[in-house]
Homo-oligomer: A and B are copies of this chain.
Amino acid sequence: MTKRSQTDRDLASRLRLDIVSSAFEPESRLKFAELTKRYEVGIGTLREALTLLLSEGFVTVDAGKGFRVAPVSATELAEIIELYLELETRALEQAIKTGDDEWESTIVAAHHRLSLIESLPWEKRMERHEEWVERHREFHESLISACNSQWLVRLRSIMFNQLDRYRFITKLATAGRDQIKLAEHLEIKNAVLARDVPKAKYLLEAHIRDTAQHAIQKLTPKP
C-alpha cells in the first residue's frame, strides 16, 4: 500500500523490466550467483525483490530449487486479458463517474505525451520504445486515476504489468499499426472526457483485444 524501500523497489523494477523485455528466457533459472553480479546487490536483497515478483506472477519458485522466470502461453494471455478487461472497465466506469477537472487535465496531458511518440515515423518510434511503454502506461493510468477503489486499482495494475510481457512480444509486429493505435487512443480519450461510459468501455475493450490478438497469434505454434 505504502512505498517500498527505495533500493528494493528499483531492483524489483529492474528485474521486472528485464523479464518483460525477455532479457531472461521464460522458464529459465534465476541463479543468485549470476544475479548478484548483474545487479550488484546481496543475496538477501535479491531474494526480497524476487519474492515481490513472485507475488506479481513474474517468477515462480520451487522450494529448494530456486526461482525461475514465469512461463508465457497463449492460454495464460487469454486469462489475463479477460481479467484485465473486467478490472480496467470497472475502474474506468468509476473514474468517469467521480472524476473532476483535474482528472480530466491529467488525461489530456498524458494523452498528449503519448501521441507525440505515436506520431513519429516507425524508426524513431522504435528507438524510443521504452519511453513509449512508460507513456502508454501513464495514459492508461490517468484514465482510471479517479477510481476510488484502491484495491481495484491495485489488482488492475498487476494485470496491466503482466500484459507488458505480451505487449513486448508484439512489439515488432506493430510496424504498420501505429497510426491505428494513435487513433484508438484518441477516440478513447474523447469518449472518456465526454463521460460516455458505454462508448469508452466499448472502445477500450476493442483496443485491448486487438493488441492481444496479435500476441496470441505469435504464441500459437504454427503448422
Contact = CB atoms under 8 A, between A and B. Distances in A.
A172 interface: no
B5 A64 contact: yes
Nearest to A2: B60
Contacts of A51: 48, 51-52, 55
Main secondary structure of the interface of A (DSSP, over half): helix
Sorting the interface of chain A by its residue count into under 10, 10 to 19, 20 to 34 or 35 or more gives 35 or more
Contacts of A151: 57, 76, 79-80, 83, 159, 162
Interface of A: 1-6, 9, 44, 47-48, 51-52, 54-57, 60-64, 68, 70, 76, 79-80, 82-83, 86, 90, 149-152, 154-155, 158-159, 162
Closest 8 pairs (CB-CB, A-B): A55-B55, A2-B60, A79-B149, A1-B60, A44-B44, A79-B151, A51-B51, A5-B63
